[in-house]
Structure 1
Amino acid sequence: MTSGVVVTGLGAVTPLGVGAGVLHRRAVAGDSALAGGLGRCEDFRAADHLSRQQIRRTDRFARFALVAAAEALAQAGWTSGALPYPAERIACVVGCALGGTESFEAQRDVLRQQGAEFVSPLMVSSMMANAAASQLSLRFGFQGEALCVASACSSGTQAIGTGLMLLAAGAADAVLVGGAEASTSELVQAAFRNAGALSPTGDSVPFDRGRDGFLIGEGAGILLLETAAGAAARGAAVLGEVLGYGASADAHHLTAPDPTGVPAARAVGQALRAAGVAPREIGYVNAHGTGTVLNDQLECDALRLALGPALEGIPLSSTKSAIGHLFGAAGAVEAVATLQALRHATAPPTVGLREPDERLGRLNLIRHATPLAVPGTLPGRPAPRLVGLSTSFGFGGHNAALVLAASPA
């Protein structure tokens, strides 16, 4: 039984550029925006998109969310001024793991150099993790539930799952969902480096035999979800569907994943069952794929538990080799990338993959842009669609998975 929830708008700000289309084109081309050990959104100029007041009152991560949301809403046709649903029936759910670290660190420096009286009263509203969700509701006038999901690196995926559940429960007619993060500072880098998670070589390649850790990126991914009936009633173009969602907790360790992979596999299995999709129907997997030795191994083990022998034939890649690890935004940006891959029937590669690690088992790892096989159309059946799986696994044992679908353009 599928969810009946459709995607009518996509937006993204990533190190590859501003726009969901840019993300797909450059990812498929095998471009990487990682430089100097970071994935920074160098092409993003806040003043090109936001007013001076909006910039002054927001942290960088919230600015990413505002711009990505504006793209998603414009694509959905929500630009005329009048909302297609009552304002109180439109919700915002945005994931964020670390919040406004840039604002916090800047004001910490002000405190040390100039004194407490010079600390900005706007610091709290800028740095709090719910700032992106709050800013979206303020900017667009949405008066339904507005909340932040903070579950480490699965925050963006769980935000989408939360939006799905709000629609399924009849608590909203539309939900703006996604994730945003901007935590590339030296302090955050030092913390992850000392935790042994960052690549010491500055060359992060998931699933490669020589992989040695991830690199930090920043950005935002936003999707507009509506019920299928609501989208049809207003004549909206449907970009894809959220068929199923699953989540679980390892209850194992503060940072290390459960070595059995069973809880992570359970989240994937839940998503498949909710979607009514069999493993053999999955046409593409956008893996969490951090590039750490342990996490890549355990993710592949979990996928094998959940998908069985079908895993060997499913094209699989990680976009983190192109944009870095976006923490709370990762799952949302990767959901956008997955839908774009399905819509264009072309999957992006894991950039830089040279020697796949044979210890991961037999996998169909993508090294170059790969056309996805589109099911044939049968008489009396709906138009063919591609189905994809996107996975996220976060520090603290958070596991989440989405089953997405789209008809190739």
Structure 2
Amino acid sequence: MTMNPDGVTVTAHALHVPSLADAPAGGAAAATARDLFDRVDPEPACAPDQAHTVLGRKGLLFKEDSTRLALCAVHRAFGLPPGKLTEPLPAAEHTAVVVSSNLGNAQTVRDIAVGMRAGSAHDVSPLNGPNASSNVIASTLAIRYGFTGPNLMVCSGATSGLDAVRLGALLLRGERARRVVVVGVEPGDDTASALAALHPDATA
């Protein structure tokens, strides 16, 4: 999103949802979702373990599924070629990041807690420790693409996505950034799926 005399404008977008790309056709809802996917991003969405086909292999070690999916979405929204950046993005120093994710790093937090309970803090890999921070997705995007504006993580439940868009607009109107990258991402790992199943009627 950027700010112009007419207000906040969405200048680019991408949809990177592997499960939607692989969903079989059938039913009105499935047809609508399939049509939306084809119009927003006609390229097939790769699964998190195949993120290197979009991002290149360097820098993905120990990155969680949600972080990999967010990186892929941003990479495609900017229309970048496959692989790691060879030069900084234009205006990166004035770009903010706002990410919406309620369960993004739940799997890592669980794994670390289980490991420490069974042993000690020495059993937690130094490479995995940073993933326990709820801000890890936003900060990873900022570091990889050189965004030096504010970076925020929104974990506010069902309204999280809309809250992220609202905060992005506030950053622009308050002249805290010239451009804002807004990302909504949720993983499909076992922990996230189990937690989501506890509230089957909730929407995000």
TM-score (norm 1): 0.38
- Root mean square deviation, CA, Å: 3.3
Check conservation: 1:129, 1:148, Cα contact below 8 A: yes
The Cα shift of 1:112 comes to: 5.3
Pairing of 1:224-263 with structure 2 (within 5 A): none
Q: Which has the larger radius of gyration?
A: 1
Residue 185 of structure 1 corresponds to 190
Deviations 1:28-50 (A, max 9, x none): 4599xxxxxxxxx8844223234
Q: Distance in 1 between matches of 2:139 and 2:16?
A: 18
Q: Secondary structure at the match of 1:136?
A: helix
Amino acid at match of 2:21: G
Contact 1:98 1:183 in 2 (8 A): no
Aligned equivalent of 1:84:
90
* 1:52-100 deviation digits (Å, cap 9, x = unpaired): 452224221111111100111117xxx8845433x43211111121331
**2: distance between equivalents of 1:163 and 1:67?**
20
Q: Retained in 2: the 8 A contact 1:93–1:176?
A: yes
Structure with bigger RCO (C-alpha 8 Å, 6+ apart): 2
As a proportion of its length, which structure holds more helix? Answer: 2
Alignment of 1:84-123 (within 5 A): 84-85=90-91, 87-111=92-116, 115-123=120-128
| Equivalent residue, structure 1, for 2:20 | 16
Provide the C-alpha distance between the structure 1 equivalents of 2:47 and 2:21, rounded to a whole number of angstroms.
6
- CA gap 1:114/1:80 in 2 versus in 1, 3 angstroms: closer
* CA displacement at 1:141 relative to structure 2: 0.6
Greater fraction of residues in strand: 1
* Deviations, residues 268-326 of structure 1 (Å, cap 9, x unaligned): xxxxxxxxxxxxxxxxxxxxxx5xxxxxxxxxxxxxxxxxxxxxxxxxxxxxxxxxx5x
Q: Given the alignment of the two structures, is residue 125 of structure 1 paired with residue 130 of structure 2, yes or no?
A: yes
Q: How many residues align?
A: 180
- Residue 160 of structure 1 corresponds to 165
Q: Distance in 2 between matches of 1:177 and 1:153?
A: 16
Q: Which of 3, 7, 22 matches 1:4?
A: 7
1:54–1:26 Cα change, 3 Å: farther
CA distance in 1, matches of 2:112, 2:155: 23
Distance in 2 between residues matched to 1:84 and 1:30, nearest whole Å: 29
One-letter identity of the residue aligned with 1:125: P
Structure 1 pair 47–26 and aligned structure 2 pair: CA distance change class (3 A): farther
Name the CA distance, whole Å, in 2 between partners of 1:120 and 1:80.
29
Is residue 138 of structure 1 aligned with residue 143 of structure 2?
Answer: yes
CA distance in structure 2 between the aligned counterparts of 1:43 and 1:161, rounded to whole angstroms: 29
Distance (whole Å) between structure 1 residues aligned to residue 36 and residue 150 of structure 2: 39
Partner Cα distance (2:36, 2:166) in 1: 29
After superposition, where does 1:39-54 map in structure 2 within 5 Å? 43-44=47-48, 45-54=50-59
1:298-337 equivalent positions in 2, closer than 5 A: 330=204
Preserved contact between residue 101 and residue 183 of structure 1 (Cα < 8 Å) = no
Percent identity of equivalent pairs = 29
SS where residue 74 of structure 2 aligns?
helix
1:84 aligned partner, one-letter code: P
Contact 2:172 2:180 in 1 (8 A): yes
Corresponding residue of 2:73: 68
Change (3 A) 1:186 1:130: closer
Q: Are 1:148 and 2:161 matched, yes or no?
A: no
Partner residue, 1:174: 179
* TM-score of the pair, normalised by structure 2: 0.71
